[in-house]
């Protein structure tokens, strides 16, 4: 097995310096097998290296922040050129203006734009604008979409909500993806109270109204989903318009990946506000709120309505992120990044599904989601997520040199990396097959199994804690 000696030493000390030993929970020790790279030193293209000198094919790409691959020359050159002119000015910079004009021309959803540095900046700004515009209190979030913001309006609705006051929590309500009847009931229950609905336009499922519309189902299953037809997204659009509620599509993950202009553009359903971040600037810090002029303009200084404090940030106009975003979008269009990503993802799906069939482990592992954004899911036979199996599988795959906790295909991934990855995935499948047969999954990896980020106590193995909730299955950690 690979050695992680130096990484483990650093990681141990890191926890004494920084809570969580990381600046992002999803990169933490409780999210990966113990035998995995602890600290990364550098990355290039589709590869990264850890402090112990191990090399990996990196399918995770940070928190999905790359679309062209690590260390992309075109983007890096644009950034280097920008910083030679200094990075922040006393009045708005010319690049702020140029990127804004480019974005308004490029994204059909964008009548106006406002820039930030993180995804949470712009989702929270979208929520605030919606509340101000509608003069309403409630925010409806899609329950199947795990993350929208680090800020209290969202964190208050999770299982890790210590420090968020009750008055903040009560205004965030949930709805289920593809359950249009449930959405209608929610609008009845909270009549004239819902300021906005926020969701990723697509995640792992087609936006289909399967029960009600057979034609839509057929189309979806052929993969040419419902453009112009009534599907979940078009229904949401109608309901929001009818109720005077702002529809927000969070395009942080789906954004450039499904379609360079946003997944909603692929489906032809346009929200009032859309939020972009992550890979839009290929690894640099930049985010964008785009949408209707009437709403965004509340943050401006040329109207007579009550003023909204919309994203005024010291570093909002820093040129690094702006230059990176402009170069990334232009490069993505030039190389037709979407074609590459959908194709390679399709091959990954075909190859992995074939391996699963050959190894006979289809009851325990599958690839869910769209070809451009697939996800490996380890489950028990009853279909529920199996963290021990996930840990065991990934420990083996990592040992084979593949980092694939989530999948963020980039232009830098090619058939070469795909072939090497499929060989490693086969070894992972063989390992879990053996362990399932021997009924020793729990003992088939070093250390503890991965845990959910959103859990009330560090000891919890599940998100809802059996110490707090009486209706929850009691595990050993609940005592
Ligand atoms: C869908 C979605 N929205 C918003 C965010 C928040 O983005 P950031 O971490 O840049 O604040 C994330 C981050 O993972 C996300 O996945």
Residues 6 or more apart in contact with residue 422 via CB below 8 angstroms: 348, 351, 352, 355
Q: Residue 213: helix, strand or coil by DSSP?
A: coil
Rounded to the nearest whole angstrom, what is the distance from the C-alpha of residue 278 to the centroid of ligand 1? 7
Residue 69 CA, chain-centre distance (Å), reads 17
Tens digit of each residue's pLDDT (9 = 90 or more) over 415-425: 999 999 999 99
pLDDT per residue over 369-404, tens digit each?
999 999 999 999 999 999 999 999 999 999 999 999
270: tokens are 């346009």
CA R_g for the chain: 23
What are the tens digits of pLDDT across the range 186-195? 999 999 999 9
First to last CA, the chain: 34
pLDDT at 212: 64
Task: Please report the pLDDT score of residue 224 as a whole number.
Answer: 59
pLDDT of residue 210: 64
Identify the pLDDT of residue 225. 58
Q: Indicate which residue's Cα is closest to atom 3 of ligand 1.
A: 148
Nearest CA to ligand 1 atom 4: 148
Q: What is the mean pLDDT of residues 352-359?
A: 98
pLDDT, average across residues 56-72 = 98
Among protein residues, the one with the nearest Cα to ligand 1's atom 2 is: 148
In a 10 Å sphere around its CB, with 0-12 CB exposed, 13-18 middle and 19+ buried, how is residue 246 labelled? buried
Task: Please give the full DSSP string across 18-38, using - where no structure is assigned.
Answer: SGGGSSSGGGSGGGS-SSS--
Give the pLDDT of residue 227. Answer: 52
Mean pLDDT of 330-338: 98
Q: What pLDDT shows up at residue 90?
A: 97
Q: Which of the listed CATH numbers 3.40.640.10, 3.40.50.2300, 1.10.1760.20, 3.40.920.10 matches domain 88-317? A: 3.40.640.10
Instruction: Kindly give the distance from the C-alpha atom of residue 87 to the centroid of ligand 1, in angstroms, as a whole number.
Output: 25
222-246 pLDDT, tens digit each: 655 555 567 899 999 999 999 999 9
**Ligand 1 centre from 211 Cα, in Å?**
31
- Asked whether 250 lines ligand 1 (CB < 6 A), one says yes
Q: Which residue spans of the chain are classified as CATH 3.90.1150.10?
A: 5-71+337-443
User: pLDDT of 84-134, one tens digit each?
Assistant: 999 999 999 999 999 999 999 999 999 999 999 999 999 999 999 999 999
Is any ligand 1 atom within 6 A of the Cβ of residue 408? no
User: Among 63, 11, 18, 8, which Cα is nearest to 405's?
Assistant: 63
Query: Which run of H or E residues covers position 428?
Result: helix 415-437
Q: Could you tell me if the CB of 126 is within 6 A of ligand 1? A: no
Instruction: Give backbone dihedrals phi and psi of 471, rounded to 5 degrees, phi first.
Output: -85, 0
Intervals of CATH 3.40.640.10 along the chain: 88-317
Tally of CB atoms within 10 A around 12: 12
Residues 6+ apart with CB under 8 A from 194: 136, 138, 139, 140, 173, 186, 187, 243, 245
Cα–Cα nearest to 239, from 140, 137, 129: 140
Does residue 479 have a pLDDT over 90? no
Contacts of 130 (CB under 8 A, 6+ apart): 136, 139, 195, 196, 245, 246, 248, 272, 273, 295
Q: Ligand 1 atom closest to Cα of 63? A: 14
pLDDT of 221 over the 70 cut: no
Q: In this structure, how many other beta carbons lie within 10 angstroms of the beta carbon of residue 11?
A: 18
Which residues are paired to 115 by β-bridges? 288
Query: Residue 211 — very low, low, confident or very high, per pLDDT cuts 50/70/90?
Result: low
Examine the pLDDT at 350 and tell me if it is beyond 80. yes
Query: What pLDDT does residue 208 have?
Result: 81
Q: Average pLDDT in the 348-366 region?
A: 98
The architecture of the domain spanning 5-71+337-443 is Alpha-Beta Complex (3.90)
Rounded mean pLDDT of the chain?
95
Q: Is 63 in the pocket of ligand 1 (CB under 6 A)?
A: yes
Distance CA 129, CA 292 (A): 11
In the chain, the percentage of residues whose pLDDT exceeds 70 is 96
pLDDT for position 206: 87
């Amino acid at each position: 097995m690979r050695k992680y000696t130096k990484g483990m030493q650093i990681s141990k000390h890191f926890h004494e310096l920084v809570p969580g030993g990381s600046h992002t929970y999803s990169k933490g020790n409780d999210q990966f097998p113990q035998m995995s790279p602890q600290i990364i030193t550098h990355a290039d293209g589709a590869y990264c290296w850890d402090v112990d000198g191990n090399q990996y094919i990196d399918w995770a790409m940070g928190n999905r922040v790359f679309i062209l691959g690590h260390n992309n020359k075109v983007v890096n050159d644009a950034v280097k050129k920008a910083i030679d002119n200094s990075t922040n000015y006393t009045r708005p910079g010319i690049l702020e203006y140029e990127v804004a004009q480019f974005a308004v021309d490029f994204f059909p959803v964008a009548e106006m734009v406002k820039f930030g540095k993180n995804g949470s900046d712009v989702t929270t700004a979208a929520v605030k604008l919606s509340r101000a515009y509608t003069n309403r209190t409630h925010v409806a979030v899609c329950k199947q979409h795990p993350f929208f913001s680090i800020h209290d309006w969202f964190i208050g609705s999770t299982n890790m909500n210590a420090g968020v006051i009750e008055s903040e929590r009560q205004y965030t309500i949930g709805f289920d993806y593809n359950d249009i009847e449930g959405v209608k009931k929610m609008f009845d229950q909270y009549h004239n109270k819902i300021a906005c609905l926020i969701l990723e336009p697509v995640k792992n499922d087609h936006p289909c109204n399967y029960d009600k519309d057979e034609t839509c189902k057929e189309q979806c299953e052929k993969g040419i989903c419902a453009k112009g037809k009534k599907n979940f997204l078009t229904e949401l659009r109608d309901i929001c318009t009818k109720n005077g509620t702002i529809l927000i599509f969070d395009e942080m993950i789906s954004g450039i990946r499904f379609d360079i202009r946003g997944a909603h553009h692929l489906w032809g359903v346009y929200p009032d506000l859309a939020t972009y971040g992550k890979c839009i600037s290929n690894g640099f810090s930049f985010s964008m709120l785009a949408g209707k002029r009437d709403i965004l303009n509340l943050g401006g200084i040329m109207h007579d309505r009550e003023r909204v404090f919309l994203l005024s940030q010291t570093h909002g106009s820093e040129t690094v992120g702006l230059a990176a975003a402009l170069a990334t979008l232009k490069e993505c269009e030039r190389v037709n990044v979407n074609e590459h990503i959908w194709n390679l993802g399709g091959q990954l799906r075909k190859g992995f599904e074939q391996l699963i069939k050959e190894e006979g482990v289809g009851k325990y592992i599958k690839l869910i989601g769209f070809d451009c954004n697939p996800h490996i899911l380890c489950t028990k036979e009853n279909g529920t997520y199996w963290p021990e199996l996930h840990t065991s599988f990934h420990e083996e795959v990592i040992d084979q040199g593949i980092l694939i906790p989530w999948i963020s295909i980039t232009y830098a991934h090619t058939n070469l990396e795909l072939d090497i990855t499929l060989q490693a995935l086969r070894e992972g499948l063989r390992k879990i097959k053996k362990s399932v047969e021997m009924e020793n999954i729990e003992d088939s990896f070093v250390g503890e199994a991965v845990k959910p980020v959103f859990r009330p106590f560090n000891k919890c193995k599940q998100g809802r804690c059996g110490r707090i909730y009486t209706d929850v299955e009691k595990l050993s950690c609940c005592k």
